[in-house]
Amino acid sequence: MTSGNARVIKARTLLLLALLGCQPAQAGEWDLDTLGQALSAAATPDPIAFTESRQLPYLSEPLVQTGTLLRPSPERLEKHVITPAREDFIIDGGQVTVIRADGGRLDLSIHDNPLLLALAYGLRGVLNGDMDGLQRAFTPALDGTAEDWTLILYPDDESLREAIHSVRVQGQNGQVQTIAIEETGGGGATLTLGTAAP
């Protein structure tokens, strides 16, 4: 509630500063609102290369996937896996679609599974800088400076807390570098975002 007001004030300040021909002082405050603004300002419809490493207690080494992320609109997030096997993972609103290389198709809702919900809100929220959306599912804690920040998301939902411990997002200014999901059973996944793929 207060963040909403704070955001309005912040936006006015920005506007004022912009009118005065000044750059907003990055060295000043670094909080969720400024992070959100920086992230949404940097949000791009261009493909972003990623590497995802999945660790589970029964795996001797992580499973690695590579591919591209695409955000055609704030509601939609497409994850196109290229290696080791092609897979399209699309979150659009509340709908989750998985299309496998063999043509197999899975239609799910983010509500079908708490992990899917965490993934959708976490990934989409972070990449779009949608702090309000993030706070619908998580309690965030921000640490560090604008040049090197860490955002830790703790799940609010009971069933989600049983599945994951936290989501740890690291970045520089508006650029997200890694998103690490830490699972309660000892497993986890780390998504490393690279530069835009050709």
Partner 1 sequence: MIFRPQTWRLMIVLIVLAALTTLLVNRINVRTDLSFFLPGAEDPQSALLVDRLQDGAASSIVMISLSGGPAEALRDGSLAVARSLRDSALFTTVETGAVGTVTPQLLGSLWDRRYILSPALDAGAFTADQLRADLQAGLNRLAGAEGWVMRDLFPADPTGRLTTLLASLQGTTGPQRRNGLWMSADGTRALLVARSRAGGLDLPAQIQVASAIDAALAPVRASGLIAEASGPGLIAARTSGRMRAETTTISVIASAGVAILLLWAFRSVPVLVLLGLPIGAAILAGTAVVQMTFGSVHAVALSFGATLIGVAIDYPLHLLAHRHPSESAADTVRRLARPLALSTLTTLAGFTVLSLVSFPGLAQLGLFAAVGIVVAALTTALVLPALTPPTLHLRVTGFGVRLWALLHSGRYIAGAVVLGLVTLALLTGQPRWQTNLAALSALPPAARDLDARLRHDLGVADARILLIVRGDDADTVLARQETLRPALNAMLADGRVGGIEMAADLLPSRAAQKARQARLPDAETLASRLTEATAGLPLRPSALAPFQIAIATEKEAPPLTVETLSGPAALRIEALLKPERGGWSGLVLPSAVADPEALRALAENAGPHVTFLDLKAEAETLASRYLDEALAWLGWGGLAATLVVGIGLRHPVRIVRTLAPASAAIAATIAILVLSGTPLSLFHVLALVLVAGLGIDYAVFFSEYSSSNHDSAVSVRAILLCAATTVTVFSTLALSDAPVLHAIGLTVAVGASLALALTLAFSAADSKGASTSP
Binding residues for partner 1, rule: CB under 8 A, are: 52, 54, 56-65, 79, 81, 84-85, 87, 89, 93-96, 98, 100, 106-116, 119, 159, 183, 185, 187
Residue 122 C-alpha from the chain's centroid: 5
C-beta closer to partner 1: residue 74 or 187: 187
DSSP category for residue 17: H
Nearest distance in Å: CB 144, partner 1:
28
Nearest distance in Å: CB 122, partner 1:
12
Q: Do residues 39 and 128 lie in contact, with contact meaning Cβ atoms separated by under 8 Å?
A: yes
Give dist(CA 117, CA 141) in Å, integer: 19
C-beta closer to partner 1: residue 42 or 99: 99
Q: Which residues contact 28 (CB under 8 A, 6 or more apart)?
A: none
Residue with tokens 């920040």: 149
Nearest distance in Å: CB 98, partner 1:
5
C-beta closer to partner 1: residue 42 or 108: 108
Q: Do residues 79 and 67 lie in contact, with contact meaning Cβ atoms separated by under 8 Å?
A: yes
Nearest distance in Å: CB 159, partner 1:
8
Helix (H, G, I), strand (E, B) or coil at 33: helix
C-beta closer to partner 1: residue 7 or 165: 165
